[in-house]
Structure 1
Amino acid sequence: MDKKNNLIFENIFFDLDGTLLNNNKEILSSSLDIIKDMQQQGKKISIATGRPYYFAKEEHNLIKADFPLISCNGSLIYDFKNEKILFQNPINKEASQQVFDLLIKNKITFLVYTTKQMFGFYHFSNSFPKWFSWLTDSIQKRKKENRFEVNFNEYAHNKLNDFKIQDHDIIKFLIIKSDSNLKDIENIEKNLLEIDKIYVLRSQKNVIDIMPLNSSKGEGLKKLAEIFNINLDKSIVFGDEENDISMFQVVKYSVAMGQSKEKIKVSATHQTKSNDEDGIYYFLKNYK
């Protein structure tokens, strides 16, 4: 469906990667211009992302977001204005330990998002992961006040120095497929499905998200709406991946980016151009 007649909305929520960010992980100047224009018209803007809140602070500040950030696919909402967590749904401790042990045993490269910081893990037989190098470079390019700590851990067999997963509140695990052996990933996928109180989804092509049950961007958006009395029937969301569909289902209007797979497009009420083709500007400039 792609009819733009009579769109009446007060609030706009953007996914980050593949949506508000182009393929160079930048917000296009055209997007910034149209967002500012929308805000001057009285519309409220914010972000719902699979990233942890500390890895979206710069983008949140750049668009001068009006609402707190929905992060980690809805499992944590962070208020940068008051520097506090408004909502969190960490993974069950027992489930966290099971997931962690499974990933270590099968030599998987992965990230752990806690409520405070990020940890990366890779097997000693592999070279330093390209994803981790990109992450390090990305952090260094940010303004000093928007940088955050990542603790990288090289592990051998099942041994991991002094790190204990039980000492942390885990919001999400992120498997890095592009830096792992795909056969090893195939070996663990069935085992992951057997662990209680988690579920698995794909937020980008080269990763697998491991999430706590009852957390999704849609649930996060409903929670934010409850806290700030947001009318979801007067809201529009932009997204491009599987983890955005739950948002499409709770608002009146939804826009799939042009590069999205067909499954995503048919789940949205509207479509636009790709994230590299001024898709956000194009839609918001031309809607009626």
Structure 2
Amino acid sequence: MFKLVVSDLDGTFLNNSGTFDVDLFNQVYGEMQESNISFVACTGKQCERVEELFGEHGKGIWILGDSATRIKKDGVVVKEFTIERNLALQAIRDIESFSNDFIIIACTTEAAFVHSYIQDEYYKIVKGSYKEVIKIDSFDQINSSFLKITVYDPSGRSSLLRKHVEKTLMDQIYIVDSEANWLDITALHTHKGETVRKLQEILGVTEDETLSFGDGENDVELMSIAKYSFAMKNACDNTKNAASFITKSNEENGVLLTIKKMMDLQKQ
């Protein structure tokens, strides 16, 4: 029997418009609640942005947000995993030394910070994943605890940037280029897979009792924490290779339909 469902959001649970089938979700989630199955949104998005996305429909869901550096449920932060301030600022300096045209998002326990000179088109992209965004003249002014550093690169150089930063910080941070345009830096050993394991411990749930869904490079670890791991049809090759199964795409309600089918099988 499975008791926990963990799903990435962008490219997995959410469709390409960044929304989801509310009626189908309410139906499936209602059945999950009746069966005492927990639902987890595991994402790079800010927890508060996830709460905004689900609205009234998200009561009771677990959120592993900000690239799994925070565990939150019903407005209450359960755990946070921070990156040492000097290390975070060093990472930012390394990023800026590679190129000065990256969109750097410094995520803290308070908000997401961006440079005050950010262009409107890129600020809009940032707001798609972060509800609380503050413009700042220098990241050195940040006094809150750092959760992660995220980089958006319109030119798609994330892989090259990762290799550049790894030259000096490889053994001190966790870094992943989830897509050509996106890169995340968190504390060492802090990633989706490890944070899900911590949640499994909190809930007393095993890998054999877990379903997971993902599509990107940063979802590979999600495939290892669940007996029933599903890569979306639109997933990258590494995630597909790591998954136990391939399911329908994010445009076809792959996550919700698979959960429904698995619950039906479980009842039988």
Per the TM superposition, whether the score is higher than 0.5 is: yes
| SS of match in other structure, 2:135 | strand
Q: Which protein has greater RCO, CA pairs closer than 8 Å, 6+ apart?
A: 1
Aligned length: 259
The answer on whether the counterparts of 2:112 and 2:133 sit within 8 Å (CA) in structure 1 is: yes
Shift of residue 17, structure 1, vs aligned partner: 0.9
Q: Larger C-alpha radius of gyration, 1 or 2?
A: 1
Tell me which residue corresponds to 2:152: 176
| SS of match in other structure, 1:244 | helix
- Matches for 1:93-242 after TM superposition, within 5 Å: 93-105=85-97, 106-107=99-100, 108-121=102-115, 128=119, 130-136=121-127, 138=128, 148-153=131-136, 160=137, 163-164=139-140, 167-178=143-154, 182=157, 186=160, 189-195=163-169, 196-242=171-217
Tell me which residue corresponds to 2:231: 256
Could you tell me which runs of 5 or more consecutive residues in structure 1 were left unpaired when the two chains were aligned: 1-7, 140-146, 154-159
The answer on whether the counterparts of 2:175 and 2:186 sit within 8 Å (CA) in structure 1 is: yes
Shift of residue 271, structure 1, vs aligned partner: 1.3
State the TM-score, normalizing by the size of structure 1.
0.79
Q: Deviations over 1:100-159 (max 9, x none)?
A: 22334431221111111011137x5xx7153322344x48xxxxxxx8431124xxxxxx
- Matches for 1:12-27 after TM superposition, within 5 Å: 12-27=5-20
The answer on whether the counterparts of 1:31 and 1:278 sit within 8 Å (CA) in structure 2 is: no
State the AA in 2 paired with 1:19: T
Shift of residue 175, structure 1, vs aligned partner: 0.8
| SS of match in other structure, 2:148 | strand
Structure having the larger proportion of residues in helix? 2
Structure 1 residue 92 corresponds to structure 2 residue 66: no
Deviation larger for 109-118 or 68-77: 68-77
Shift of residue 39, structure 1, vs aligned partner: 2.5
Shift of residue 181, structure 1, vs aligned partner: 8.2
| SS of match in other structure, 2:184 | strand
Instruction: Specify whether residues 265 and 93 from structure 1 end up closer, same or farther in structure 2 by C-alpha distance, changes over 3 A only.
Output: same
State the AA in 2 paired with 1:110: I
Q: Distance between the aligned counterparts of 1:185 and 1:280, measured in 2?
A: 28
Q: Distance between the aligned counterparts of 2:192 and 2:105, measured in 1?
A: 20
Could you tell me which runs of 5 or more consecutive residues in structure 2 were left unpaired when the two chains were aligned: none
State the TM-score, normalizing by the size of structure 2.
0.84
